């Protein structure tokens, strides 16, 4: 029985100390890159990227983080897209789903983002896709054919703030 506990303890010790990593964040591009630190029986591996509280920290620009957030938003979108196109739910319920599920996933940590026009465009595209699913197609009055809603019509129907404006508002609130 004692041997088994000792084995578990040594395995636990190797697990705790064998998996430690560190990352140096600096403006200097070469600071802390690919060096390992060893102390006594412990080894700390230097890494280029680190996931902390759901946010990936790395030396690159914020573009990778935004792509990751949009991928997570797409996963959420595809998991409930049948609800968004259902005629059993009202538009208000669908908008509440959008506000409570998609926005927090996509905009988590957005207070620290500095967006380029390309990233703003990606956020717009994601939001417009969700809103098109919520509001559904519209029949053209002239031709009688069904078509997707145009961006201006979506903005008029969804009077709330869009993702980009919410991001800018949160950043101003975060900055004080």
Could you give the CA distance from residue 156 to residue 63 in angstroms, rounded to a whole number? 29
Per-residue confidence at 3, pLDDT binned at 50, 70, 90? very low
pLDDT exceeds 90 at position 75: yes
First to last CA, the chain: 59
Per-residue confidence at 35, pLDDT binned at 50, 70, 90? low
Q: What is the pLDDT of residue 61?
A: 63
Long-range contacts of 162-166 (CB under 8 A, 24+ apart): 162/123, 162/124, 162/127, 163/103, 163/106, 163/107, 163/123, 163/124, 163/126, 163/127, 164/115, 164/120, 164/123, 164/124, 166/103, 166/107, 166/110
Give the best-scoring range by mean pLDDT among 35-49, 95-109, 149-163. Answer: 95-109
Q: Closest Cα to residue 59, out of 34, 19, 88, 27?
A: 27
Evaluated on CA atoms 91, 96, 101, 106, the torsion sign reads: positive
Residues 6+ apart with CB under 8 A from 107: 69, 163, 166, 167, 170
pLDDT exceeds 70 at position 6: no
pLDDT exceeds 80 at position 50: no
80 and 101 Cβ atoms separated by less than 8 Å: yes
pLDDT exceeds 60 at position 156: yes
Q: Does the predicted TM-score (pTM) go above 0.85?
A: no
Longest Cα–Cα distance of the chain, Å, equals 84
Tell me how many helices (H) and strands (E) the chain has.
7, 7
Encode pLDDT of 52-61 as tens digits.
Answer: 666 776 666 6
Residues 6+ apart with CB under 8 A from 160: 95, 99
């Amino acid at each position: 029985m004692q041997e088994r506990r000792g084995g578990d303890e040594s395995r636990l010790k190797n697990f705790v100390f064998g998996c430690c990593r560190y990352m140096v964040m600096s403006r200097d591009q070469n600071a802390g890159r690919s060096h390992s630190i060893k102390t006594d029986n412990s080894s700390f591996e230097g890494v280029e990227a680190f996931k902390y509280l759901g946010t990936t920290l790395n030396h690159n620009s914020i573009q990778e983080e935004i792509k990751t957030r949009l991928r997570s938003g797409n996963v959420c979108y595809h998991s409930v897209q049948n609800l968004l196109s259902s005629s059993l739910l009202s538009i208000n319920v669908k908008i509440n789903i959008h506000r409570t599920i998609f926005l927090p996933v996509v905009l988590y940590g957005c207070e620290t983002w500095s967006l380029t026009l390309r990233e703003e465009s990606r956020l717009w595209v994601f939001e417009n896709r969700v809103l098109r699913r919520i509001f559904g197609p519209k029949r053209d009055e002239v031709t009688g054919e069904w078509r997707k809603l145009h961006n201006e019509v979506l903005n008029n129907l969804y009077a709330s703030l869009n993702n980009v404006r919410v991001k800018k508002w949160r950043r101003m609130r975060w900055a004080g």
